[in-house]
Chains A and B, each alone.
Chain A
């Protein structure tokens, strides 16, 4: 017998269930007066640097129907490509931009709306630059463990072409599942949980 590595196991995930709003966006589901506002509902203020954009995200099930009880969180760099995080050692991010947002999908339309800024480019592990991207984490009833994916931008063709994460996707036909289409000032992004257009989800 060798010595024990003395490691613990991560607590197993369980679904967020149909009532995730009670815990994470109580004001959205009419539980008022407990928290002043829902955490992560506002990402940008007058001082925030960068190009204002809107993300319209939907999550579609295996029949192509948008989920109306999902919750999405996003995490992104500021306009200069810096994360507002203690683990960011390259500099200080825009103090007027946390870079984290949380929104429920609309109970009628299934659209999840984020008002944010376009992120700058962040270096990969080997210092090559990744294309501008936003990290998504998706939970809902029926999702046993939160799904991780990335949103890239359709008007960043050159950067996307040299992005080291997009380059890892063996089935090249699936790369477009990670690219949001620009429509005016908004980017539209459909996440397909299943089927021919199934979005690439990451394990990282």
Chain B
């Protein structure tokens, strides 16, 4: 059974934050989610800001106790056995938490010491890790002088210091330029090939499509659906989509004219169809005159839209 060798099993997992002050109200950021992650796979949480991705990741990292449900990581309870669980995980938090006053090497050193490695062991491992992160020539450089992409790679290198079985990456490429993202994706591919289980969150559909074997679509603390990128696309959307743009204010009206098969967004209409060109011909026949019309392949962005009625990044 697949369940037997699941590295991570979550059932009915919830996280409710207490009110920040007397006037505030408690907030349920994760509202009961079930998922399993298997050894060697790259598993993703795709969802917009506020979906509860980071809250879920912190529970997986053993630094945030679930308020309800069950969670097993590597067969252990991350609350009762937090120390043992964390010893076998690598964590790349959403916000870089490197010490900018210290050098690249010192950052690795103090982190290695946290895991109980000797100075000598860290030094030996640091060479490999810096090579992996393509930072060989930056060892003595202070982190404040590194670019965003370099810092991100260093954070990943640091998370690998204890040779973790599972690497948790919270929005690994948010805020990076396209080139830096590709370098980072390439490094993550390599890790996956080395057998490290990757768990990542993202609100970029291309990242989810590139990196994830399997993912869950998350919105408002709940999982809307689960599957491989291909499966999700096949399950929820047609092969192609026709994007139509009109002058401001006309979208609603045209939407009503074209009927149920179209999604009306503030800036455009989306017509899901297996043959986009044919849909365009139909629209033209119906007397619709868009400013621009574009036929493209559907992606996870469209899946998200179909599942939640909202777009991923707004």
Say if A and B assemble together.
no
Chain A positions near chain B (C-beta within 8 angstroms): none
